[in-house]
Amino acid sequence: MSAPFQAVITGTGLYQPPHVITNAELVESFNRYVDLYNEGHAAEIAAGAVVALAHSSVEFIEKASGIKQRYVIDKAGVLDPTRMYPRFGARGDDELSLMAEIAVDAARKALAAAGRQPEDVDAVLCSAANMQRPYPAMAVEIQQALGAGGYGFDMNVACSSATFAIEQAFNAVRSGQSKCVLVVNPEITSAHLEWKDRDCHFIFGDVCTAVLVERADTAVSAERWDIVGTRLATQFSNNIRNNFGFMNRAEDSDPDARDKTFRQEGRKVFKEVVPIAAAHIEGHLDALGHRPAEVRRFWLHQANLGMNQLVIKKLVGHDLAEAGSDVAPLILDEYANTASAGSIIAFHTHRADLKAGDLGVICSFGAGYSVGSVVVRKR
């Protein structure tokens, strides 16, 4: 049996939506919705039948999350206090799907960065927290739109979808099954967020990332990152959940019920996921013969500022305020939580200054619970 091929990351791409929603804009819209709700349910509120909704604030959002703005594909629908979710135009079956459209954009950028053409790709993995439809697979549509060869399939591991897909790409390349694998993460999170819920209305933003994983001996890119190792883990939890699915109709359940959009027990998630993520990273590094202190940069999942600060503190003994953004850069303030794409955006935007031999960790953690880590070294 031949030795495994070395797999390298040769390019990344980022699709950034055209619209920005600042916290101030979001709060203004949300508070108007609250006023309309409370006015419309005044009698029930007075009788104690329903609870009055509370206003949000910029201070609350930034203290709770560290988020200052987010990018979205549609802004008007989200900020309409009588709607409070995006408005996307329906597309015919003969038109390119919205999710495929943004994936193709990010993919072309990743291919250009790697010096590759679509026909060089022999596998496309579309991995995201939510898929636009069950079938045909989004990956196959993206494959066709690009003009790539080989095969494609979809994956969903919530906020760890990107790192889980990178491991599949890594294994395909290392085994010799594929030479060039494209991983795309189209995250249209605005469509599954409950914008009417004060506890989470500020969390998500839209984006798409792409990563190209290739055999080192056939890569042409000047920039290459050796994939030193990958590790995945899951542990079941209901603390982050979305019950939307194809069985809803058969269950005669309300398609607009609160459980059909994103919901979480935020305090429980914070308390439970931080130690899981920190122990996972430390254990992965140890298995590869490294210590956290040897890592030049951590590109962590971008869900919550406090969560990332505590993960870093557990790993290297000081928080982000002391370590600075150099150790674990944040993109959360600009992009908000972008599900699986967050750690990839951090890697995409904060890696140019690293030198040959520098070690880094791309890590995601989220619903499942799921955690995935990719240890890389710059060539």
Do the beta carbons of residue 204 and residue 70 sit within 8 Å? yes
Q: Is 105 left (phi over 0), alpha (psi -120 to 50) or beta?
A: alpha
Catalytic annotation, pick one of 126, 159, 200, 208: 159
Do the beta carbons of residue 334 and residue 72 sit within 8 Å? no
- Three-state secondary structure of the chain: CCCCCCEEEEEEEEECCCEEEEHHHHHHHHHHHHHHHHHHCHHHHHHCCCCCCCCCCHHHHHHHHCCCEEEECCCHHHHCCCCCCCCCCCCCCCCCCHHHHHHHHHHHHHHHHHCCCHHHCCEEEEECCCCCCCCCCHHHHHHHHHCCCCEEEEECCHHHHHHHHHHHHHHHHHHCCCCEEEEEEEECHHHCCCCCCCCCCCCECCEEEEEEEEECCCCCCCCCEEEEEEEEEECCCCCEECCCCCCCCCCCCCCCCHHHCCEECHHHHHHHHHHHHHHHHHHHHHHCCCCHHHCCEEEECCCCHHHHHHHHHHHHCCCHHHHCCCCCCCCHHHHCECHHHHHHHHHHHCCCCCCCCCEEEEEEEECCCEEEEEEEEEC
Question: CA angle 60-307-184, nearest 5°?
Answer: 100
Active site (annotated) includes residue 200: no
Give yes or no for a cis peptide into 136 (omega within 30° of 0).
Answer: yes
| Rounded distance between C-alpha atoms, residue 227 and residue 165, angstroms | 13
Q: Which residues are known to be catalytic?
A: 159
